[in-house]
Amino acid sequence: MTENDNPEISRRRLLGTVGAAGAAGLVIGAAGGVGVAAAGSGDDTAGTGAGGAPALTSVGATEVMFHGKHQAGITTPLQSRGHLIAFDLAPGAGRKESAALLRRWSVTAKALMAGKAPAGDTGVALDAGPSSLTVTFGFGRTFFDRTGLTARRPSALDPLPAFSADALDARRSEGDLWVQIGADDALVAFHALRALQKDAGDAARVRWQMNGFNRSAGATAKPMTARNLMGQIDGTGNPKVTDPDFDRRIFVPAGTGGATEWMAGGSYAVVRRIRMLLDDWEKLPLDRQEKVIGRRKSDGAPLSGGSETTELDLDKRGPDGTTVIPDNAHSRISAPEQNGGAAMLRRPFSFHDGIAADGTPDAGLLFVCWQADPLRGFVPVQRKLDRGDALSAFIRHEASGLFAVPGGPAEGEYVGQRLLES
């Protein structure tokens, strides 16, 4: 049997054929760009591998580790493609079946994130590298009822309160198990989705599934904060991993003891499908759009002045005596200083699921935010927004979920093992 006949061969082996131009691309790629051969270099082999085949680019070469203190896909930089999928355990499936399923999923996720093709692979992504693939697993509130583990269910999984602007579809909300897939290549992301769905077998069935996207790496002249479908720079105020209190805000600490120690190093994901009423939004003149958000559309800078990263001056007033950043501006209401320091790490994908029957785009944001405790992160901010956010007139919350995402597995462990086998 040749290497090409072996389904277990690593797609990363293609890296061995990358020449000097490709190696330079890997360094550039680490800074957020894409390495390519210079146009008009006169070297017909530049950017090619063995036998003249195109070299693997830095986008495809990037690998994210499966094992670690935290699961991948939380602090990993935003990928260009994403899938969110929730499963319900099949009737009769319990703790034993769940452990077997998480074991299968972990084996598959580890292989795919390393750029390897599992046994029985479909071959969809054979030509690609790992492409920053991440697979993240979480447990919904109902999972603990179905597996007889209610004594180990964290209080942080208590149902989210109802918000007045919600128009939630129960069929596309919650779920026993949740999986987040992200990658910088659409085929790699779909490949992982298909493999995990097949692995579910008779143990679990799909409850809902959503597809998302972001701007591709290298699409801008320099790395930039992502824009959403309203054209706004989205994510400027996110906590940074370099912040001294980042871990305290985003991850569950170890050493708390008790029935929920299995969540050490984990985080809680709030997932919301937020429809954007783009036809209404796009009718607003630019200055009105900026007042709704409280930031300039061109560069994300606050209306109070400065650059994108300048702190909001919430007290600054204009010549007419009114605050430059309106009292109901989205950025003002959601600012941590307006919410007792509440913070969450937003890591969304945009979505577009076609044109609705009324001719409007079914498009918006697959909002995913991470925090050590949703009652101190998402909930207080959303309550404040619910009472008077100017953006509320242009969005609709259509689905919701809350999931406990345990810490990353150590070498030799599968995700959730500390819950299911202790």
By annotation, the residues acting in catalysis are: 234
Q: Are 60 and 130 in contact (CB under 8 A)?
A: yes
The residue written with tokens 């799909």 in the block is 206
Element (DSSP H or E) covering residue 85: strand 81-89
CA dist list (Å): 339 to 308, 377, 383, 384: 21, 9, 10, 8
Closest CA to 64 of 112, 127, 15, 128: 112
Length of the chain: 422
Q: Are 349 and 134 in contact (CB under 8 A)?
A: no
Closest CA to 196 of 104, 126, 100, 269: 104
Distance CA 29, CA 34 (A): 5
Q: Which residues neighbour 19 within 8 Å (Cβ) at sequence distance 6 or greater?
A: 45, 46, 47, 48, 49, 55
Exposure string of 214-224, with b = 16+ CB inside 10 Å and e = fewer, is beebbeeeeee
Distance CA 145, CA 225 (A): 40
DSSP structural state of residue 315: T
User: How buried is 308 (Cβ within 10 angstroms: 0-12 exposed, 13-18 middle, 19+ buried)?
Assistant: middle
How many CA atoms, within 13 angstroms, populate the side-chain half-sphere of residue 37?
19
Phi first, then psi: give them for residue 77, nearest 5 degrees.
Answer: -55, 150
DSSP structural state of residue 221: S
Q: Are 391 and 330 in contact (CB under 8 A)?
A: yes
